[in-house]
Amino acid sequence: MAIVRDYMDYGGKRKIDVLLNAPNIICYVRAVLFMWGIYRALDHDYVFGAAMYLTNCVLDEVDGKIARKFKQRSKFGELLDVILDFTVNELGIKTLLCMIYPDYAFILLCHTVINVFSTWIYRQSCDLTDADMKKTSNWLLHVYEGDLGYYTIWGDWIFWLMLYLVRYTTGPVVPVLNIGLWEILMWPCLLGTVIRTVINIFGKLVVAVDILVSVDIEKVD
């Protein structure tokens, strides 16, 4: 009962209100859909697996907008969202791709490590120093935090989704071009993946290392 009271009343505020606010509930739904999608995808139900992945991407956009609109942002929610992004958009889809494209497993794993490591250390460095991720002297990140970042992320997500789908089907054939729709979508979206990888390495990673090293030097001084 003490544990229940703690969650229901913590210094006049209820922890349960944070745990069950709208954006966090969406994150819980994302986690369930991700596990369901992976389970079905492993049974070669690629249509359902692709649908769950795309739904996760859409909900990732929705929960952030709701958190900002209704002022329900929280540290717990931010961390939960980042972990889900790593799980769904990196580990989940890349694990499936490693299984269906074993010859490219090493490249896929290296790409996953780069994205996860650079993003995580960047967020940690900003949290450590209370730095604003939207205000940076790094021109790559400055551009990325604008509209470019939004379209790049979606391009990256769609590329991996299309790469997954073309293993099973090229999609509806486009007249005249006589090429499957999924293949047509995949190659332009590859640009989003390339841009995002470059920004992660030369933007987020470089800035994070600079911040952390500066903190260490100040402590020594």
Q: Which residues contact 204 (CB under 8 A, 6 or more apart)?
A: 118, 119, 121, 122, 141
User: Does residue 51 fall inside a structural domain?
Assistant: yes
What does pTM read for this prediction? Answer: 0.88
User: Does residue 52 fall inside a structural domain?
Assistant: yes
Query: Is the pLDDT reported for residue 172 higher than 90?
Result: yes
pLDDT at 194: 96
User: Does residue 77 fall inside a structural domain?
Assistant: yes
State how far the Cα of 43 lies from the Cα of 49, in Å rounded to an integer.
9
Query: pLDDT class for 158, splitting at 50, 70, 90?
Result: very high
Task: Report the pLDDT averaged over residues 9-27.
Answer: 80
Phi and psi, residue 137, nearest 5°: -85, -10
Comparing CA positions, the residue from 133, 116, 126 lying closest to residue 214 is 126
User: Does residue 212 fall inside a structural domain?
Assistant: no
State how far the Cα of 107 lies from the Cα of 210, in Å rounded to an integer.
27
User: Does residue 93 fall inside a structural domain?
Assistant: yes
Reported residue count of the chain is 221
Residue with tokens 């922890």: 15
Taking a C-beta distance cutoff of 8 angstroms, is the pair 207, 122 a contact?
Answer: yes
pLDDT tens across 24-48, in order?
A: 999 999 999 999 999 999 999 999 9
Task: Report the pLDDT averaged over residues 175-195.
Answer: 94
State how far the Cα of 152 lies from the Cα of 180, in Å rounded to an integer.
23
| Number of structural domains the chain divides into | 1
Task: Report the pLDDT averaged over residues 44-67.
Answer: 94
State how far the Cα of 204 lies from the Cα of 141, in Å rounded to an integer.
7
Task: Report the pLDDT averaged over residues 5-24.
Answer: 72
User: Does residue 209 fall inside a structural domain?
Assistant: no
Residue range(s) defining the domain that contains residue 5: 1-100
User: Does residue 19 fall inside a structural domain?
Assistant: yes
CB atoms within 10 A of CB 62: 14
User: Does residue 221 fall inside a structural domain?
Assistant: no
Which DSSP state fits 104? G
Query: Is the pLDDT reported for residue 215 higher than 90?
Result: no
